[in-house]
Amino acid sequence: MASADFSRAPHASAHPMANPGYGKRSAPRQSPRRADDFAHLPKREAAIAAYIDRLPDGAAIDAKTLAKCLPDYGQMACATALRRLSEAGHLRRVREHHITEDGARWVTRTFFSRTARGEEWWEAFVRGDDAPEPRPAAVPATAAPARTPAYDVLASLGRTDPRMTLSAADCARLEPRAAAWLARDADPARLVQALTSGLPVQVHSPAVLARTRLETKLPPEPVPEPRAEITISRLLECTDCGRPGPPTALPGGLCRPCRGEAEPLPPGGLSPAEVRRRAAAIRSDVRTHEG
């Protein structure tokens, strides 16, 4: 089993984003991030889970993309890890049907939860019900307060470009300005790009430069979207093969064949053994008549 120390987990900087509307989505109402979130998983799965957890929403987290970004793991290893994360309750692939004034389309999103969820929770989530809250984990009295998304973006800048490495004090001072930015543009990747692109050759004070850009590049207030009725229906997809189905047919996020189980027979259908027996009887009868 993995230890609680994920300090060697790969960083999630410069990770490719999926096509608009696709990719990773953070499941709602997760517990605050802790060092031992994935201690119950094997080492490889724990490292990949910690990596995915730090990716922004919209990041591509298919096995092929993960393998390109994680040099220690190949595509098959990443695919197996995604399957195990699904079985452990951290991940589900969801096919969503969006119906708007402009038409309809299906999109596939991968919902990730650092808090492991049971089948009942995922079934309620796919139905669109209020999912039952997980039982809160005991938090040590010395646990650090949960960090905000704005703080996390600022703390990650040095991984994107070392010239923009900020201290903890810098992050705390700039956090309100970064939060104001995210209130207008909720995509952390665009904020990272605004703070790290087009840097001078030498950055003498990354905190001053970050503050200046947070002020001068602050996006405008978002234009209110027109009120259009949107209906969303959801199906799960098998984490391994992408086969769609209701949550009850995909426990652990996997279909019957990917779980190694035989498909149920249709009403009145014959078992494979019975089909073979009847075919053998027909061949025997044909040989008898031909003889």
Decide which of 144 and 214 is more confident. Answer: 214
Assess whether 42 and 20 both reside in one domain.
yes
Assess whether 126 and 176 both reside in one domain.
no
Q: Beta partners for 236?
A: 94, 245
Q: What is the pLDDT of residue 6?
A: 46
Assess whether 289 and 186 both reside in one domain.
no
Assess whether 106 and 238 both reside in one domain.
yes
Assess whether 104 and 238 both reside in one domain.
yes
Predicted confidence (pLDDT) per residue in 30-67, tens digit: 888 888 899 999 999 999 999 999 999 999 999 999 99
Number of domain units in the chain: 2
DSSP for 72-135 reads: TS-HHHHHHHHHHHHHTTSEEEEEEEEEETTEEEEEEEEEE-SS---HHHHHHHHHTS-PPPPP
Last residue of a domain, one of 173, 191, 222: 222
Task: Tell me, yes or no, if the pTM score tops 0.85.
Answer: no
Give pairs for 144-152: CB < 8 Å, separation 24+: 146/32, 146/33, 147/33, 148/175, 148/179, 149/179, 149/182, 149/188, 150/175, 150/176, 150/178, 150/179, 150/181, 150/182, 151/175, 151/178, 152/54, 152/188
Q: What is the pLDDT of residue 32?
A: 87
What is the number of helices (H) and of strands (E) in the chain? 9, 5
Assess whether 46 and 63 both reside in one domain.
yes
Last residue of a domain, one of 222, 257, 278: 222
Decide which of 220 and 129 is more confident. Answer: 220
Please, what sign has the CA dihedral across residues 24, 30, 32, 37?
A: negative
Assess whether 139 and 27 both reside in one domain.
yes
Residue 135 has pLDDT above 80, yes or no: no
Assess whether 212 and 232 both reside in one domain.
no
Q: Give the contacts of 22 (CB within 8 A, at least 6 positions apart).
A: 58, 60, 107, 108, 109
Last residue of a domain, one of 222, 244, 265: 222
How distant is the alpha carbon of residue 9 from its chain centre? 17
Across all residues in the chain, what is the average pLDDT?
Answer: 83
Assess whether 15 and 157 both reside in one domain.
no
Helices marked H in 161-271: 168-184, 188-196, 206-216
Q: What is the pLDDT of residue 232?
A: 67
Please give the structure tokens belonging to residue 272. 């494979």
Predicted confidence (pLDDT) per residue in 3-34, tens digit: 444 444 555 557 889 887 788 999 998 888 88
Assess whether 165 and 209 both reside in one domain.
yes
Please give the structure tokens belonging to residue 228. 């259009």
Assess whether 109 and 159 both reside in one domain.
no
Predicted confidence (pLDDT) per residue in 104-116, tens digit: 778 888 999 999 9
How distant is the alpha carbon of residue 203 from its chain centre? 34
Q: What are phi and psi of 175, to 5 degrees?
A: -55, -45
Assess whether 43 and 123 both reside in one domain.
yes
Q: 274: domain range?
A: 1-146+228-291
| C-beta separation of 97 from 104 below 8 A | yes
**Could you say which DSSP state residue 262 is in?**
P
